[in-house]
Amino acid sequence: MAETTQTLAIVLNGEPYEVPAGTTVAELLRRLEIDPETARGIAVAVNEEVVRRSQWAELRLQAGDRVEVVTARQGG
């Protein structure tokens, strides 16, 4: 029998998004094709609280979390 992976519904940048249960902030960034080890100019907030880069690999997302991923852009 095939094993099913549980998913969590979160809100990512204002849009519904599903991730596997147990997903960390770092894993979410990888799913978004952002390398959390080398990315510069990235800020992440979960439920309106900024998450320090040092916590990205540890903080597991929960159902209903509101996640904002902000990328700094240069321009004029």
pLDDT tens by residue, 13-71: 999 999 999 999 999 999 999 999 998 999 999 999 999 999 999 999 999 999 999 98
Which structural domain range is residue 44 located in? 7-71
Domain total in the chain? 1
pLDDT at 72: 84
Mean pLDDT over each residue of the chain, to the nearest integer: 93
Residue 63 lies in a domain: yes
pTM: 0.88
pLDDT at 15: 98
Question: Which residues have CB under 8 Å from 23's CB, separation 6+?
Answer: 8, 31, 60, 61
Residue 13 lies in a domain: yes
> Dihedral of CA 5/10/50/73: which sign?
positive
Q: What is the CATH number of the domain that holds 26?
A: 3.10.20.30
pLDDT at 2: 56
